[in-house]
Structure 1
Amino acid sequence: MPPRGVIFDLDGVIVDSSMFHFGAWQHWARKIGIIEEVDEAWFREHHGKRNDAIITATLGPLPATELEAHAMRKERHFRELARGRLAPLPGVAALVAALQRDGWLLAIGTSTPRENLELVLDALPFGDAFAAAACGDEVPHGKPAPDVFLRAAELLELPPERCVVVEDAPSGVAAAHSGGFACLAVATTRPRELLSEAELLLDSLEGATSGAVAGLLR
């Protein structure tokens, strides 16, 4: 059988770090005096996007150095909040193990910076299962552009049509499809109706099987 791959998003798919991201964004907003803007609706609107897109949408265009400083401040506080408090979401460990047994190649494609990814993988008992990882700050365009998934597939040495993307955000589903990937969506952080474009939509990864993933390949 030709090689097959699964590319997992990170936040909301492998771990639920949303409370720590929200806390970090609120800390950032409080520091710069815009805390009233950064509420739960704001957070839902920007979930799954890269920091540069979120900050620009909130503050307007900024010089690259200033944009990077804002992003670094937010992510530094995120890591302070999340360290030692992350756990895999239900069903993830079992699905990863099943995919490994069936010979799938596994990767991560995430909007999160590399330092955050390493923090999460170090906290997981199956963190070494992933043969490759692509992060949002390492590609030209963030989701809903497909760059991060295309890079992950490239690292696995597989074409998009031999990979399935696992996502929890509408921007991620759109990114998968624009890159030519099939998508399994999990409604862990967003309502099901916002993820209805995915080829397979589940409430969580509990009970998800390697066979169900294989059925999504074209």
Structure 2
Amino acid sequence: MPDDRAAILVDVDGTLVDTNWFHTVAWWRAFQDIGEDVAMSSIHRLIGMGSDQLVRRVIGRESDEASVAHSKRYEPFKDEIKAFPGAADLLGELARRGARVVLATSSDEEDLDRLREAIGAEDAIDEVVSNGDVKRSKPAPDIFEAALKKFDLDPQRTMVVGDTTWDVEAAGKLDLEVVCVLTGGSTRAQLDQAGAVAVYEDVAQLRDRLDASPLGKLLD
């Protein structure tokens, strides 16, 4: 029997889990390791974009060496990963209201396991798409397109929750509306300009205001 529930595709890093600054510092140190002196601010504004595209934007060329160095530099932060307050509550409430909750992340399977453990909402999560399901990273729409196709979701009854302009840009290419939170480091003005349909301080505020939010209206 087809599953005709409305679907919510939820980004993980910077949205549910407080990792964007860890990634920023890890990339900054990684670029130093390969002899590239770059400003941390130039890295932070690109967090949420796929690693391959971030490297090209920052140093103007591809570098597998940079990606390997980032993985090494990010490793010590993994024991400090924490979910944002309200992350599990939001996912649980979406599920309670009948949503099909899908995590949509560029993380690999190993990192995803740790992120899911930090979130602590396994009963609320229906499905997951990760970097192994796609060829191109954000701002390409592949991660969201993979979710739509893999789980046979109706785009007209699907929304995205994210934290960066790259989430909004990627989803917009599929005409998916995006609700954003400010915990990834993007400003309200940046997210509004990118096309977010609503912006909240964090997932806790989104949970508190769910009834009046675009997500709440989708699930009515």
**Fold equivalence (TM over 0.5):** yes
Match of 1:99, SS state, is helix
From the superposition, tell whether residues 200 and 58 of structure 1 become closer, same or farther in structure 2 (CA, over 3 Å). closer
Aligned residue identity for 2:48: G
Partner of 2:83: 88
Contact 1:13–1:168 (CA<8 Å) still a contact in 2? yes
Contact 1:91–1:208 (CA<8 Å) still a contact in 2? no
Give me the identity figure in percent. Answer: 25
Partner of 2:66: 70
Q: CA-atom RMSD, angstroms?
A: 2.2
Partner of 1:49: 49
Of 136, 154, 162, which residue of structure 2 is paired with 1:159? 154
Contact 2:34–2:66 (CA<8 Å) still a contact in 1? no
From the superposition, tell whether residues 210 and 110 of structure 1 become closer, same or farther in structure 2 (CA, over 3 Å). farther
Partner of 1:203: 201
Aligned residue identity for 1:77: R
Aligned residue identity for 2:210: T
Contact 1:161–1:182 (CA<8 Å) still a contact in 2? no
Of 122, 129, 145, which residue of structure 1 is paired with 2:124? 129
TM-score (norm 1): 0.86
What is the CA deviation profile of residues 132-186 of structure 1, one whole-angstrom value per residue up to 9, with x for unaligned ones?
2222353122222211011122333212221110011011111111112111111
From the superposition, tell whether residues 108 and 72 of structure 1 become closer, same or farther in structure 2 (CA, over 3 Å). farther
* CA–CA separation in structure 1 for the residues paired with 2:147 and 2:19: 22
Cα distance, 1:211 vs. partner? 6.2
* CA–CA separation in structure 1 for the residues paired with 2:21 and 2:130: 20
* CA–CA separation in structure 1 for the residues paired with 2:123 and 2:66: 31
Structure 2: 5+ residue runs without aligned partners?
Answer: none
Match of 1:215, SS state, is helix
TM-score (norm 2): 0.85
* CA–CA separation in structure 2 for the residues paired with 1:127 and 1:19: 25
Contact 1:114–1:135 (CA<8 Å) still a contact in 2? yes
Aligned residue identity for 2:173: S
Aligned residue identity for 1:19: W
Match of 2:45, SS state, is helix
Structure 1: 5+ residue runs without aligned partners?
Answer: none
Matched, 1:194 2:195: no
From the superposition, tell whether residues 25 and 109 of structure 1 become closer, same or farther in structure 2 (CA, over 3 Å). same
Contact 2:159–2:176 (CA<8 Å) still a contact in 1? yes
